[in-house]
Amino acid sequence: MTIPAAETRPETPAFGRAHLGFFAINVWRYQELLRHLMIRDIKAQYKQSVLGYAWIILNPIAQLLILSFVFTTALRPATQSGTPYPLFLATGLLPWIFFANAVTSATSSITSGPNLITSVYFPREMLVIAAVLVRLVDLGAALIIVGALLILNGQSVSWTAVWLPFLITIHILFVIGFALPMAALNLFFRDVRFLVTTALSLWFFVTPIFYSLSAVPERYRLIYDLNPNARLIQAYRWALFEGVSPPLESVAWAGVLAGLSLLVGYYVFKKLEPYFADYI
């Protein structure tokens, strides 16, 4: 598929420049549109569902129960500091569910909004950002589930939980940065959504979700060092039930990876944006 030559397109509007400063300006300027898109997506997701919004809680609980049963009865993996395995698993699985659902939804966000794209101009990244932020309901459900597990296991929330807003912000920025080029490329090449699904399946196993990072041999650590999800999940565990602050260098590196993801992802997205209407 050949994309039209750039010179045949009108000049990109000022607020569409591929710069993170304009990214922040667009988010602020179009916050009302962003809020409307988020509400629309939430309503559409659970429309005509018998259980409705209960699926926000039921789906992660079902996955948590199944994986907990498998790994506590069959594989019996070791956890850090003797942490109960369901709690250990929850702090890895639930952030992953947010990541995977957000990336999957955001990848299809441009192709699923043809009427908006062809009728009026607005920064198209709003569709991707809204698709990611809607999945914050998954993180909200995750916090409820983890809180319940802490209570059931007789553990209290440590003061280090104050790290959570900062860690979640890094996670959101990484997801948006990763999803932006995927959403743009999926418009031109519809195979991208299938590639994303396959990549997420593989990514799941190279992220310390159901096993401890300490169990990974040293020669493979580089893979995990370059995986923001691995660093963030480990940081969630430290902050929530280990009672220690995540190492600053690890959090800083996750922040750098998230920033690079957003920088590159936004640049690619804005370079492809002028051609969206031709392929929608």
Q: Can you list the residues of the chain whose pLDDT is less than 50?
A: 1-16
The domain limits of the chain are: 18-279
Query: What pLDDT is recorded for position 10?
Result: 42
Query: What pLDDT is recorded for position 5?
Result: 40
Query: What pLDDT is recorded for position 15?
Result: 43
Of the candidates 251, 259, 176, 210, the one whose C-alpha atom is nearest the C-alpha of residue 94 is 210
In whole angstroms, give the CA distance from residue 90 to residue 64: 7
Q: Which tokens sit at 135?
A: 């999945």
Query: What pLDDT is recorded for position 79?
Result: 56
pTM comes to 0.84
Query: What pLDDT is recorded for position 3?
Result: 41
Of the candidates 195, 185, 188, 196, the one whose C-alpha atom is nearest the C-alpha of residue 268 is 185
Query: What is the per-residue pLDDT across 193-249, written as a single tens digit (0 to 9) for each?
Result: 999 999 999 999 999 998 888 888 888 888 888 999 999 999 998 988 777 889 999
Query: What pLDDT is recorded for position 2?
Result: 44
Q: Give Cβ neighbours of residue 96 (< 8 Å, ≥ 6 apart).
A: 204, 207, 209, 229, 233
Query: What pLDDT is recorded for position 196?
Result: 94
